[in-house]
Structure 1
Amino acid sequence: MVKGKKIVLGVSGGIAAYKAAALTSKLVQAGASVKVIMTESAKRFVAPTTFQALSRQPVYTDTFDEQDPSQIQHIDVADWADLFLLAPATANIIGKLAGGLADDMLSTTLLATEAPVYIAPAMNVHMYSHPAVMNNMKQLDAWGFKFIEPGEGYLACGYVGKGRLEEPETIVRVLEQEEQKEQLLKGKKVLITAGPTREKIDPVRFFTNPSTGKMGFALARQAARLGADVTLISGPVKLDTPSGVERVDVTSAEDMFQAVMERYHDSDLVIKSAAVADYRPRTTYEHKMKKAPGDYAVEMERTKDILLELGERKEHQYLIGFAAETQEIESYGRKKLEKKNLDAIVINNVSDEGAGFGHDTNVSIWLTKQGDKQTFPLMSKDELATNILQKAVEEMKGESL
């Protein structure tokens, strides 16, 4: 899948820079056209002429060394790329990218490119696990950058642990797999709901639930990475919009109902992971209610059942629901699957440790109307999202990840 691709390889200053020479050779052998950008520190480990000989392309080291006066060098290279590979990626270049800093040829080109960026970190094991480095990588991941995790092994510093640059053959294989993945949902319209809803009593009070939207946002992020045209309808949450995702913010269950119904007809895959309120106050007040002696009762009425409505109106869509349960989870999940005419359901036991609202991890059971069942053990919500989309693609008669 890298054959014919135009790849910019960014080499930063670490001992693993010598592997970047072998990586350049492997990419060229696989049919890619490779242009190399080196930092000043990288030049202390490997000479630019090495990469020039292996790539048969000019090597870029200085933002101000304009090789063609008719073009702005770092913009031209950024626009040329089909994909951008940063290997080895030191803690320094990762920090600069996360902070939006641009003070050399590599960092300015990274900020200018619109191509997918793959990052292969390489550093000392303690540097890799430092909170600042981890936060920088987490931020880049949230923005849509893709990581090729370092291998575990003997490091140049003498330590054994995570931090060694992945082998060139593995990096090429990962690129091929990732490029193939990006075709899985290409051309498909995916509609995802996330987060809680708020049902207002008066201007300062409302009913809601603990949903943070993390699962829905993970689904949207991974669906976009698989090439889908993703619309994310979210209740009030404090999360950044995933890269490549159209976000629609709503507040109440009625708002979400209207937003979903407006877009349902054109959708191919619909995943309803939002925790929508089942009830709302029958009466809302224009002004703040004043405290009074004694108890106060709020009469509630049912909200529209969005998932039931979607099941009744289903045409060509593949419809996935979520169920948050605390007991008899599989039994309740199957009943919801059948009653609401779903194609599949993801059941969470929110009483499990590490699962449910607010966590970065989840434990789930996948059930389909065809009888397929799979238990997903404790894993990150991004990993679970990928598994859910994989199952959906398989059910929709697509390719496996």
Structure 2
Amino acid sequence: MTELGSSSAASRVLVGVTGGIAAYKAPGVIRRLREAGHEVRAVATDAAFRFIPEETLAIAAGGGVHTDETWWERSGRVEHVTLARWADLVLVAPATADAMARAAVGLGDDLLSATILAGARAVLWAPAMNPEMWSNPATERNVETLKGWNHRFVGPSEGLMASAEELPGVGRLADEAEILAAVEEALAGARG
């Protein structure tokens, strides 16, 4: 795992990967962020590893992945606080309904949710889920709660789902270019 020390990069983006099928797209998002000159770290929930190997995320990020297993370091640093202070922006991509619900009610029993709760400066959610889940009143309420805390959202988009559902709907992860544009906008908003 790479150290969380300072860097000369203009912006530091922590990419949170949650347990949805769209997790397989996270390396592409991370690659685009790095190509744009951002310093990137990745944090993944345990459920994310059901869809993508940890090694794949580590290669994309150019360093180790922060996980619940690495949460409490031998050095005595508590990663959720360290990561929250390090990141100029936390991008959750893909963001599941569960991850947004956990944040909206203030849960912090995994590394990603604890990092957001520990005072992340700016948070951008890139939701990806079944259209019925996206339009569920509970999800809509959680999104409004997070927006009320100045969290930002990109997507979801309309299109066929990764699960090969026959009917398209709103729930597909936004494309990489759209996410990158939203990251730049969120970073500009956080600075200004």
- Fold conserved (TM > 0.5)? yes
Query: More relative contact order in 1 or in 2 (CA 8 Å, sep 6+)?
Result: 2
Structure with the largest fraction of strand: 1
The runs of 4+ residues in structure 1 deviating greater than 4 Å are none
Do the aligned residues in 2 keep the contact of 1:63 with 1:74 (CA within 8 Å)? no
Q: CA deviation at 1:128?
A: 0.2
Q: How does 1:108-127 map to 2 (within 5 A)?
A: 108-127=114-133
Q: After TM superposition, list the pairs within 5 Å mapping 1:300-339 onto structure 2.
A: none
Which one has the bigger helix percentage? Answer: 2
Change (3 A) 1:73 1:155: same
Of 32-41 and 167-176, deviating more is 167-176
Q: Distance in 2 between matches of 1:110 and 1:182?
A: 15
Matched, 1:35 2:68: no
Q: Which residue in 1 is equivalent to 2:57?
A: 51
Q: Residues 12 and 39 of structure 2 are in contact (CA less than 8 Å); yes or no, is this contact kept in structure 1?
A: yes
CA distance in 2, matches of 1:107, 1:181: 22
Tell me how far apart the structure 2 counterparts of residues 110 and 26 of structure 1 sit (CA, whole Å).
23
Shift of 1:181: 5.1
Aligned match of 1:174 = 182
Instruction: Output the CA distance in 1 between the equivalents of 2:20 and 2:13.
Output: 21
CA drift of 1:63 comes to 5.5
Structure label with greater radius of gyration = 1
Change in CA separation of 1:113 and 1:63 when aligned onto 2, cut-off 3 Å: farther
Is 1:78–1:110's contact at 8 Å kept on the other side of the alignment?
Answer: yes
Q: Find the aligned partners of 1:114 and 1:66 in 2 and give their Cα distance.
A: 18
Is residue 2:180 matched to residue 1:162?
no
The secondary structure found in structure 1 opposite 2:46 is: coil
Cα distance in 2 for partners of 1:139, 1:34 equals 27
Q: For residue 145 of structure 1, what is the aligned residue in structure 2?
A: 151
- 1:8 deviates by 0.5
Taking structure 2 as the reference length, what is the TM-score of the superposition? 0.89
Equivalent residue in structure 2 for 1:131, among 128, 137, 156? 137
Give the Cα separation in 2 of the matches to 1:63 and 1:49: 15
- Indicate if the aligned counterparts of 2:122 and 2:186 stay in contact, CA closer than 8 A: no
CA offsets 1:55-83 (integer angstroms, 9 cap, x no match):
11220111564345231111111111111
- What 5-or-longer segments of structure 2 have no aligned partner? 1-8
Say which of 55, 76, 97 aligns to 2:82: 76
TM-score, structure 1 normalization: 0.44
> Aligned with 1:16: secondary structure?
helix
Distance 1:179 1:69, change over 3 A: closer
2:4 aligned residue: none
- CA distance in structure 1 between the partners assigned to 2:187 and 2:111 by the alignment: 26
Equivalent positions of 1:2-401 (< 5 A) are: 4-62=10-68, 65-157=71-163, 158=165, 159-180=167-188, 227=192
In the alignment, the residues of structure 2 paired with residue 141 and residue 63 of structure 1 have an alpha-carbon distance, to the nearest angstrom, of: 30
User: Which residue of structure 1 aligns with residue 6 of structure 2?
Assistant: none
Query: Aligned partners of 1:28, 1:69: CA distance in 2, in Å?
Result: 28
How far apart are residue 179 of structure 1 and its match? 3.2
Name the SS for the 2:120 alignment partner. Answer: coil
| Preserved contact between residue 21 and residue 162 of structure 2 (Cα < 8 Å) | yes
Superposed CA deviations along residues 108-136 of structure 1, whole A, max 9, x for unmatched, are 11111331100111000000000000001
Q: Where do 5+ consecutive residues of structure 1 fail to align?
A: 184-226, 228-401
Alignment length (residue pairs): 182
- State the 1:182 CA deviation: 5.6
Please name the residue that 2:3 is paired with. Answer: none
Asked whether the equivalents of residues 90 and 124 of structure 2 are also in contact (C-alpha less than 8 Å), the reply is yes
Query: Counterparts of 1:181 and 1:145 in 2: how far apart (Å)?
Result: 11
Instruction: Return closer, same or farther for 1:33/1:64 CA change in 2, 3 Å cut-off.
Output: closer
Q: CA deviation at 1:31?
A: 0.8
Q: Give the AA of the match of 1:79.
A: R
Offset from partner CA, 1:255-290 (integer Å, 9 cap, x none): xxxxxxxxxxxxxxxxxxxxxxxxxxxxxxxxxxxx
CA displacement 1:145-167 (0-9 Å, x = unmatched): 11112110001230301000001
| 8 A Cα contact 1:20 1:168, kept in partner | no
User: Aligned-pair distance for 1:175?
Assistant: 1.6
**CA distance 1:181–1:8, change in 2 (3 Å):** closer
